[in-house]
Amino acid sequence: MRPYLNNTTTRLPSSATPPYLPFCHHSHFLSSKTSSFIPLFHSTKYPSLRNPKSPSYHLQNPTNSPAFKPLVKASMASSAPSATETKPFSVLFVCLGNICRSPAAEGVFRDIVKKKGLDSKFNIDSAGTINYHEGNLSDPRMRAASKRRGIEITSISRPIRPSDFSDFDLILAMDKQNREDILEAFSRWKSSNKLPADAHKKVRLMCSYCKKHNETEVPDPYYGGPQGFEKVLDLLEDACDSLLDNILAENTNIHSS
């Protein structure tokens, strides 16, 4: 049986919100004095939602708001590089095939830099003047000799390329022939690749940094016995220690950055 309905109209309390009106995610779009919903747009589909007494709301581009500009400025400032940030100092070690001496130099120098807590301040790589071994790991004999000293060599052989003369701050040649080949490549590439005119000044001999040894070149151990690899590592450890001291002395910003 249907419940009895009288003819008396039941009023909702003034504070109640009509259940048939849509809610917005933000409560401030509901009037605090009335239960009427104030839309952000003029409804044509639902004319009953119009409120002629409410102020009109015009859609506008939020970027034109005065409050928007400080937000943009703050966002740009947070994404801009700090004035104190410096580009990592880049060092490239080069030998003939990039499987013995230069990957060992890369590994030794990387190890010294890491122990000083400066690995984030340096970009370290190695290359060869020929591409015979491109894509190969370094000589297993050199990797074994380095590992005995606690140094891991993980580099993959690659030939020197034109961009190296722009990307690196120092290019260290293992012997005089390597240096000549590097400089010849620079002369051949500098015009067509728009390289810095003074990039040849970046090329130096590795042994010019030695303090404990009198050798002027790092000998190629490829055709020798195990002792040759040990000798190379002795020279490289000497030169790399001095090399780092020299770089830090000439670039004080590396410590302060």
Among residues 100, 101, 139, 179, which one is catalytic? 101
Among residues 95, 100, 210, 240, which one is catalytic? 95
Q: What residues contact 96, with CB distance under 8 A and at least 6 apart?
A: 128, 129, 130, 174, 177, 178, 220
Q: Distance between CA atoms of 204 and 95, rounded to whole angstroms?
A: 12
- Virtual CA dihedral for 33, 37, 43, 48, nearest 10 degrees? -80
207: annotated active-site residue: no
Q: Distance between CA atoms of 214 and 239, rounded to whole angstroms?
A: 11
Query: 89 with 177: CB under 8 angstroms?
Result: no
Among residues 125, 139, 175, 220, which one is catalytic? 220
Q: What residues contact 253, with CB distance under 8 A and at least 6 apart?
A: 86
Where residue 65 falls (left for φ over 0; alpha for ψ -120 to 50; beta otherwise) is beta
24: annotated active-site residue: no
181: annotated active-site residue: no
Structure tokens at 221: 């151990």
The catalytic site residues sit at 95, 101, 220
